[in-house]
Amino acid sequence: MSKAVMISIQPKWCELIASGKKTIEVRKTRPKLETPFKCYIYCTLGDCGKVDIGKRGNCYNGKVIGEFVCDYITPFRPRALVCDSEMCKLSQVPVGKLVEYAPDKPFPNDHIYGWHISHLVIYDRPKELSEFKKHNRKCHYEHLGLATPKCSECSECQLERSPQSWCYVEEMRNAND
């Protein structure tokens, strides 16, 4: 299986991503993966209320609501942006908030990353975190034979907690099923 990323996003940003208004997700770090790579969107519980994605009438807080392909990542320095910059428009984040979010480090380490969102799919049925496998976990039971749990059915392999920002996971096959 391929390595992918699970990314935690607050409900208000999930709504903007699902509507197509937000096409850049801003992060302080980036994965050590070549682009393009798949990202699964975990909608955080947060204090922002419940998320109603589109006209589905479903509340997706605390679930994996969809996926996208990150086809490129743009490093940028928020302090160098102007108010009407393309990065602010695409991320839906005002320049002042980007400056606040950026690391308080001297140049050239004061940059953050814009993850480009492409090929967005919002699931008809949200997924549970437990449906995802941690990446590169060697199954402790694999060598014991048939009387053991199937891989990904035990807590050793399953993703049990949402990532702080993002984490590596195994790419799912037909995740929108």
Write down the domain spans for the chain: 3-170
**Can you give the pLDDT at residue 8?**
95
**Cα separation of 166 and 135, whole Å?**
12
Contact yes or no for 43/12 (Cβ under 8 A): no
**Confidence class of residue 155 from pLDDT cuts 50, 70 and 90?**
low
Which pLDDT tens digit goes with each residue over 101-113? 887 777 667 789 9
Alpha-carbon Rg for the chain, nearest whole angstrom, is 18
**Can you give the pLDDT at residue 161?**
80
CATH T-level assignment (fold) for domain 3-170: 2.30.130
**Confidence class of residue 116 from pLDDT cuts 50, 70 and 90?**
very high
Helix H or strand E encompassing 70? strand 63-76
Q: Is the pLDDT of residue 59 over 70?
A: no
Residue for token pair 């979010």: 101
Q: Which residue has the higher pLDDT, 142 or 32?
A: 32
**Can you give the pLDDT at residue 103?**
78
**Confidence class of residue 142 from pLDDT cuts 50, 70 and 90?**
low
**Confidence class of residue 152 from pLDDT cuts 50, 70 and 90?**
very low
End-to-end CA distance of the chain: 18
Q: Is the pLDDT of residue 1 over 70?
A: no
